[in-house]
Structure 1
Amino acid sequence: MLAKLLNLRKRAPEFVPAMEEGLRVYAIGDIHGRLDLLDMLLPRIEADHASRPPAERHIIFLGDLVDRGPDSAGVIERVRALCAADPNVHCLMGNHEEIMLRSLEGEDKALRLFCRVGGRETMISYGVTPEEYERLDYAEVTERLNAVVPASHRDFLAALKEIMVLGDYVFVHAGVRPGVAIADQKLAETRWIRDAFLEHRGVLEKVVVHGHTVADEAELLPHRIGIDTGAYQTDRLTALMLEGSQQEIFST
């Protein structure tokens, strides 16, 4: 990690991104139903924060709490409770939260996608049995989803933030459209963009901290930092600590 950071500085000596003075920010990548990993990572974050000089600690979840892993309901409840208890804990909306919300509304395209990208596991986490799920048609998925997802979870998901800017960093789920000012970004696109963002190699208005696209390890580049390490498959949930010009990675 140290070698990677030193290499970053060599490639871009004219600009060293920095967090706002007095802030210590921990960003957490895509969880996808892995409450077990989140419960391992959060104590490490708190221990790290306690080991450092006093600073205002923020935690930012980058979205995709749900689908694929075994306990989406538990992850939503844990993150919802953390956000409710501490105004310095924030959660962004990922494309999977958008799909889930649209499925709750009965949107046909979203329902078909929900059932392909891990919605089965999400519904099972809310108490639907695998046998029952297999018997449901799309209309029944919406009906059953509305029956099992508590209003507190639906309201929490609907109120998720889209984007946050702190210091020289912008936090989004998937990325930004290169060449478009942060203030002018289409918020829905920040949840879904992939190739146009990932293939960009030039300077961006802010260093983008994102998840959405799985990599074997955290990607620390001069213009973006990707921290989706495929937790639901790899057992590696990743967090990024930003303070001053420091960038440090934690993984389960």
Structure 2
Amino acid sequence: MFSPLLQMFRPKAEPRPLPSVPPGTRWYAVGDVHGRLDLFDAIREAIEADDSASPPAATTVVLLGDLVDRGPDSAGVVARARDWQTRRSVRLLSGNHEEMFLDSLEDIGVMRHFLRHGGRETALSYGIPRAEYDQASLEELQAMLNRAVPAADIAFLNAASNYLIAGDYLFVHAGIAPDVPLEEQKPHHLRWIREPFLEHDAPHTHFVIHGHTITEDVDERANRTGIDTGAYRTGVLTALVLEGTARRLIQAVERNGAVTIEREAYAA
């Protein structure tokens, strides 16, 4: 054991460099939308305005998954995201709710789970009448949903990635299994994990930007940032802007039926 005197003269560890995205790029990561088309429209407009007012850069928007379920207009959110992707670089990551939604179209067991976790709102958003929904069996609901959901929506959701890397950052829906190489991560980890990821405080190979776990404020840690601020429940949808080593926030906030945009720059 070192004596206190010797420890005084031990060299201090060099501070870990701030993570950065590649030079000349700007990244907008958007947290879990969950059917809140009002907030999604507001955050899209705010991102477009922010990008137009910023220095020229190669810009990418990353939707961190869980576009669907719980909120009132999943169908509208998916349609808007598909349209946005035709106008700029928009990358969708697969969340656990996209997984349930797609699997429910073929698996009755998953359909039951899907409907209990916000899928009812998704089904109604695709135009299934409430009275018919209330009277239908699971098999009938599955058939209705297969008829109601456009093939283009299914293709869009099926094309989602499990993760995306930008410089020192890793974008993923839920998180990663600590100390497991990225190429060995299972989709279940990337879409569903909470612990042991959330309490893991050692550095990962990349700084992780994720959603999935709701926190009242942005959950900023030494090795990760969580930006699921519970849009469907709190009325706050968060986008994290990354440029160089800088980070800043754009939030669409609904209060008493009115949606406003709030911006904040913060130190990493």
With structure 2 as the length reference, what TM-score do the two structures score? 0.87
Aligned ranges for residues 90-101 of structure 1 at < 5 Å? 90-101=91-102
Measured after TM superposition, the shift of residue 52 of structure 1 is 1.7
Please state how far the C-alpha of 1:84 moved relative to its aligned partner.
Answer: 3.0
Task: Determine the structure 2 residue equivalent to 1:35.
Answer: 37
Q: Note if contact 1:83-1:91 (Cα within 8 Å) is conserved in structure 2.
A: no
SS in 2 for 1:99: helix
What does the per-residue CA deviation read over 1:193-215, in whole Å, with 9 as the maximum and x for residues that have no partner?
A: 11111011111110111000000
Q: Aligned partners of 1:236 and 1:84: how far apart in 2?
A: 26
Who is 2:6 aligned against?
none
2:134 aligns to what?
A: 134
| Matches of 1:210 and 1:149, distance apart in 2 | 27
Residues 206-217 of structure 1 aligned to structure 2 (within 5 Å) = 206-217=206-217
Corresponding residue number in structure 2 for 1:192: 192
Question: What is the alpha-carbon distance in structure 2 between the residues aligned to residue 79 and residue 34 of structure 1?
Answer: 12
- Mapped to 2, the partners of 1:130 and 1:218 lie a distance apart of 36
User: Over residues 135-172 of structure 1, what are the superposed CA-to-partner deviations in whole Å (9 max), with x where a residue is unaligned?
Assistant: 12211121111010011111111111111000100001
The AA in structure 2 aligned to 1:74 is G
Q: Deviations over 1:207-245 (max 9, x none)?
A: 111000000011121211100000001110000000000
Q: Structure 2: how far apart are the matches of 1:215 and 1:130? A: 32
Structure 1 partner of 2:103? 102
Letter in 1 for 2:57: A
Q: How does 1:62-73 map to 2 (within 5 A)?
A: 62-73=64-75
Cα distance in 1 for residues equivalent to 2:64 and 2:198: 17
What is the identity, as a one-letter code, of the residue corresponding to 1:177? A
Mapped partners of 2:82, 2:172: distance in 1: 18
- Compute the displacement of 1:102 (Å): 0.5
Give the count of matched residue pairs: 239
SS in 2 for 1:171: strand
Superposed CA offset, 1:79-114 (max 9, x none): 11112333x211111100000000111x13311111
Structure 1 match to 2:205: 205
- Secondary structure in 2 matching 1:198: coil
Separation of aligned partners in 2, 1:140 and 1:237: 34
Offset at residue 14 of structure 1 (A) = 2.1
Distance 1:134 1:202 in 2: 48
2:228 maps to which residue? 228
Distance (whole Å) between structure 1 residues aligned to residue 188 and residue 195 of structure 2: 15
In the TM superposition, what is the alpha-carbon distance from 1:45 to its structure 2 partner? 1.1
Please tell me the residue identity of whatever aligns with 1:138: L
Give the conservation status (yes or no) of the 8 Å contact 2:35–2:76: yes
Percent identity between matched residues is 47
Query: Alignment RMSD, CA only?
Result: 1.2
Corresponding residue for residue 256 of structure 2? none
Gaps of 5+ in 1: 1-11
What secondary structure does 1:144 align onto? Answer: helix
Aligned mates of 1:77, 1:240 — CA distance in 2: 22
Deviates more, 1:37-46 or 1:237-246: 37-46
Q: In the alignment, which residue of structure 1 is the partner of 2:239?
A: 239
Q: Give the counterpart letter for 1:219 in structure 2.
A: D
After TM superposition, give the deviation of residue 131 of structure 1 in Å.
1.8
Partner-residue secondary structure (3-state), 2:236: coil
Q: Residues of 2 paired with 1:90 and 1:131: CA distance?
A: 36
- 2:100 is equivalent to residue 59 of structure 1: no
* Cα distance in 1 for residues equivalent to 2:130 and 2:41: 26
User: Please, which of 52, 77, 80 is the counterpart of residue 78 of structure 1?
Assistant: 80
Normalised by the size of structure 1, how large is the TM-score? 0.92
1:206 & 1:154 partners in 2: Cα distance? 31
For 1:141 and 1:15, locate their aligned partners in 2 and report how far apart those are by CA, in whole Å. 52
Instruction: Return 5+ residue gaps in structure 2 as ranges.
Output: 1-13, 253-268
Correspondence for 1:25: 27
Moved over 4 A (4+): none
Which of the two has greater strand per residue? 2
